[in-house]
Structure 1
Amino acid sequence: MKKNLLLTLLFFALSPLLRAENYRISLLTCDPGEELYSAFGHSAIRIIEESSGRDLVYNYGTFDFNTPFFYVKFAQRTLDYMLSLTTYERFMAEYQYFRRSVREQVLDLNPEQTRDLLAALELNYRPDNRYYRYDFFYDNCATRIRDILEEVLGKQLIWAKPPEDKPQTFRQLIDEYVEERMPWADFGIDLALGSVIDAQASAYEKQFLPDYMERAFSYARIEGDGPTRPLVKSSSVLLDFERPEPAFSPFNPYLLGWVFGIGMILLTYVGFKKQKLYFTVDVVYWSILGLAGLVILALWFLTYHSQTKWNWNLFWTFPGHLLLLPLLFRKQLDSWWRKYFLAVLILADIAIIWWILGWQSFHPAIIPLVLVLILRSNFLYYNWEKFRALARSQEK
């Protein structure tokens, strides 16, 4: 394999000296996979040297699982992705195995543009250049291909807005791929990413998704080097599999959220009738929310992700909830704790208002979770001292 790659590199090092007409360059677009890292599809560049039959794929979407502190770097956005080079046969074998469709768009480049693109890819593949800092929305396997094509073609490449384009936010675009197929991933994404992804994405910005870039390529054109022509000369389907239908599972955030919410309503009703707080349940629940809030804070301030900033899920996953833990071991409540329950009630109400006003779109499954916060903080605020006094009198 190393020998083949060395021969390949030598071949492309000499490519500017060879006839550009011998090359066919195309965009490969691959359907989404079943894992989260592959849930949004994939893009790659295929290059065929027709006289020799060499068939290679440039892939900007690879990374090294053996990188030290891989998951820490991934969470902080300090993990580098890289441009890799493989044979078309090996590339397609993976998609055949996982039954993911692959489509090809052959680009209508003139000889000079072909040579320039080959030289740019060769330059990108050099060891000092092949690594890049991945950004899901703005610098990924799809946008890298678009950007290198823009670098080569310059003002000759004209993007046209697809006629079927409709207004969508970045969050809505993500939902298209995970909302039904991966409900827990969708819940986690909505929890971790902030209000910045509720901005409307332009047709150009939507190209971070391979499906949308494929569509943009089909409407793009080249002009200024002769008669205006489409960027894509021909299209074909290389692998064709049906996308699997989303499988329903009762273990999903929507159903479990409402089961929990109804359970807490019943618990509060029973507690009111029996004059009991059941405060341990609150401590467990609020502590989980507090831990989630710490993670959100870390993603906001301790990482390089631009999409995790200004995340107002903190209104209800407030890290201060962890301060409830000491109350389990105390018999008396300081006066300021009632004020804290009131503050929690207000913050939860603000979260609902924030959502209604459209300042951040929260995941629908949080509705019962926030309602529980409102209910329990209200219940504790008005009944804590009375029920605690009753419990102490019964102990005596």
Structure 2
Amino acid sequence: MNLKKKLFGLIILLIFFQIGISKAQLYRISLLTCDPGDELYMAFGHSAIRVLDQINGSDYVFNYGTFNFNTPNFYGKFAAGKLDYMLSVSTYADFIATYTNEKRSIREQVLDLSIDQQKYLVEFLQVNYLPERRFYRYDFFFDNCATRIRDAMDLVLGDNLVWSEDEMDETDKTFRDLIDEYVITMPWADLGIDLALGAVIDRKASNWEAQFLPDYMEKSFANAMIVGDGPTRPLVKETRVILDFLKQNTEMSSFNPYWIFWLVAIAFTLITYVGFKKKRLYLGFDITLFFILGILGIVVFLLWFATEHSATQWNWNILWAFPGHLVLAFALLRKQPKAWVKKYLLSALILADAAVVFWILGWQSLHPSLIPILLVLILRTNYLYYNLEKYRSLSA
């Protein structure tokens, strides 16, 4: 009898123990949001998921923002928009060490998930970490390290996840405006981004779409609710700062395109004035100008038509940075430019004017530093159109 009582008691104890485990939080799952860094590839911040197993003590970070540098033709695929990013896993300690070295702050939002939701999310991450599933085609705006996490939460929680009513509303900012917030102190990078990205990013983004930026996703998580799965509750039950570094007041470099391009415009204006007085063309300056614009035009053309980047389409920078300008540069090297050159100069003038009109009408926002370059282009195409035949014998 004593043995039977002991066995019965042991069974009851195991039952209660199992019930206790089932009610306990198996995992502590949280969103990690990392501040921007000093380099361009760090400029927009970062997001990752932390999974702390509270039973065995393992602590891992799932990171959708990594890629393999050993990928064949790495730079070619990157330029063509065909580079696959991947989900990687590191220990929490290693993750924190990396951001400590970079002096980038990290905030943690612990998610108030049920046991089933925790299991589902962990299983989802484990399955997606399998070699055949960890890679994905990266898109900066619509499929990146932040949106992958948001979409995973949507899949796991389904209708139980309710974003704030404001989340689907449009912001007062376009996609380009959102990017500018992070690169305002990096004028050359800002210029390069504006040259590469087309009119497709000049529409207003909804708060939902703005979650491609980790800071905006962090705010959206803070306002989201879980309903229909136990008591209605916020998605985030606890927020804490893991790393806190003082943000340095980063000032724009004095070497920036704003004053440099105006200096170029002033120089071309003086050259044109002197040339008009002396009946000279000074074509060497135009050859350099059109050569550079032609190279830029080829880059814009290739980004638009020869890549899979969705954000580089319908790029009206091609109106002033036109590939044909490269041909014009070589044509101007001839002592006797052919008859088509004058017609091309008129076309180039019209295209430059069209770029200004597109900008004014809001069809595409061009970088502010380009104003003097557009003025130079309009000035020189106009000057050459009317004076090329008269002064070509005197050109230098």
Aligned to 1:66: 70
Structure 1 residue matching 2:267: 3-state secondary structure: helix
* Secondary structure in 2 matching 1:141: coil
The corresponding residue for 2:156 is 152
How far apart, CA to CA, are the structure 1 residues paired with 2:353 and 2:176?
Answer: 23
Counterpart for residue 320 of structure 1: 324
CA distance in 2, matches of 1:141, 1:301: 26
State the Cα deviation string for residues 200-228 of structure 1 (Å, max 9, x = none): 10010000000000000000000011221
**Contact map agreement 1:190 1:362 (CA 8 A) in 2:** yes
Q: Deviations over 1:42-66 (max 9, x none)?
A: 0000011123322111111111112
Aligned partner of 1:143 in structure 2 is: 147
Q: Distance in 1 between matches of 2:248 and 2:307?
A: 35
Q: Deviations over 1:282-336 (max 9, x none)?
A: 0111111001000111111111011000000010001111122333442323332
Deviation at 1:21, TM superposition (A): 1.6
After superposition, give the CA deviation of every residue in 1:349-388 in whole Å (9 maximum; x if it has no partner). Answer: 0000000000000000111011000000011011111112
2:372 corresponds, among 368, 373, 376, to 368
Match of 2:28 in 1: 24
* 1:204 matches 2:212: no
1:178 counterpart residue number: 183
Residue type of the partner of 1:335?
A: A
User: Is residue 231 of structure 1 aligned with residue 239 of structure 2?
Assistant: no
Aligned to 1:333: 337
- Cα deviations by residue, 1:218-251 (Å, 9 ceiling, x for unpaired): 0000001122110000100000112222233221
**Is residue 287–residue 333 contact of structure 2 (8 Å, CA) maintained in 1?**
no
Contact 1:162 1:216 in 2 (8 A): no
Measured in 2, the distance between the counterparts of 1:141 and 1:329 equals 49
Partner of 1:252: 256
Deviation of 1:340 (Å):
1.2
Say if 1:107 and 1:233, in contact at 8 Å, map to a contact too: yes
Report the secondary structure of 1:21's partner residue. Answer: coil
Q: Aligned letter for 2:383?
A: F
Matched, 1:194 2:198: yes
Where in structure 2 are there 5+ consecutive unaligned residues?
1-20
Q: Does the Cα contact within 8 Å between 2:199 and 2:315 map onto a contact in 1?
A: yes
Q: Which of these residues, 167, 173, 177, is aligned with residue 172 of structure 2?
A: 167
Retained in 1: the 8 A contact 2:281–2:394?
Answer: no
For residue 9 of structure 2, what is the aligned residue in structure 1? none
Aligned partners of 1:20 and 1:112 also within 8 Å: no
Question: Cα gap change, 1:268/1:296 in structure 2, threshold over 3 Å: closer, same or farther?
Answer: same
Equivalent residue, structure 2, for 1:14: none
For the pair 1:354 / 2:335, whether they are aligned, the reply is no
Shift of 1:390: 5.2
Deviations 1:60-119 (A, max 9, x none): 111111212111111111111111111110000011011000000000001111111111
| 1:305 matches 2:309 | yes
* TM-score normalised according to structure 1 size: 0.91
Amino acid at match of 1:79: L
Q: Provide TM-score, normalisation by structure 2.
A: 0.91
Counting only pairs closer than 5 Å after superposition, residues 41-120 of structure 1 correspond to structure 2 as 41-120=45-124
* Amino acid paired to 2:245: F
1:110 & 1:329 partners in 2: Cα distance?
Answer: 73
Which of 273, 282, 298 pairs up with 1:294? 298
1:199–1:166 Cα change, 3 Å: closer
Shift of 1:162: 5.2
In structure 2, the residue matched to 1:9 is none
Question: Equivalents in 2 of 1:269, 1:346: separation in Å?
Answer: 22
SS at match of 1:365: helix
Task: Choose from 195, 214, 219 the match for 2:218.
Answer: 214
**Greater than 4 Å deviation, 4+ residue runs:** 17-20, 161-165, 389-392
Q: Distance in 2 between matches of 1:192 and 1:389?
A: 39
Distance 2:249 2:204 in 1: 28
Distance 2:194 2:73 in 1: 25
The Cα of 1:199 is off from its aligned counterpart by 1.1
* Correspondence for 1:345: 349
The residue that corresponds to 2:270 in the other structure is 266
Q: What letter corresponds to residue 304 of structure 1 in structure 2? A: E
Larger Rg: 2
Partners of 1:202 and 1:247 in 2: how far apart? 30
Q: Does 1:240 align with 2:252?
A: no
The whole-number CA distance in structure 1 between the counterparts of 2:92 and 2:60 is 5
Amino acid at match of 1:88: Y
Cα gap change, 1:52/1:89 in structure 2, threshold over 3 Å: closer, same or farther?
same
Aligned position for 1:34: 38
Partner residue of 1:12? none
| Shift in alpha-carbon separation, 1:135–1:329, aligned structure 2, 3 A | closer
Residue of structure 2 equivalent to 1:133: 137
Measured after TM superposition, the shift of residue 275 of structure 1 is 1.1
Give the structure 2 partner of residue 11 of structure 1. none
The amino acid of 1:342's aligned partner reads L
Quickly say closer, same or farther: Cα 1:83–1:326, change in 2 above 3 A.
Answer: closer
Q: Partners in 2 of 1:374 and 1:91 — Cα distance?
A: 52
Whether contact under 8 Å (1:162, 1:215) holds in the other structure is: no
In 2, the alpha carbon distance for the partners of 1:84 and 1:204 equals 25
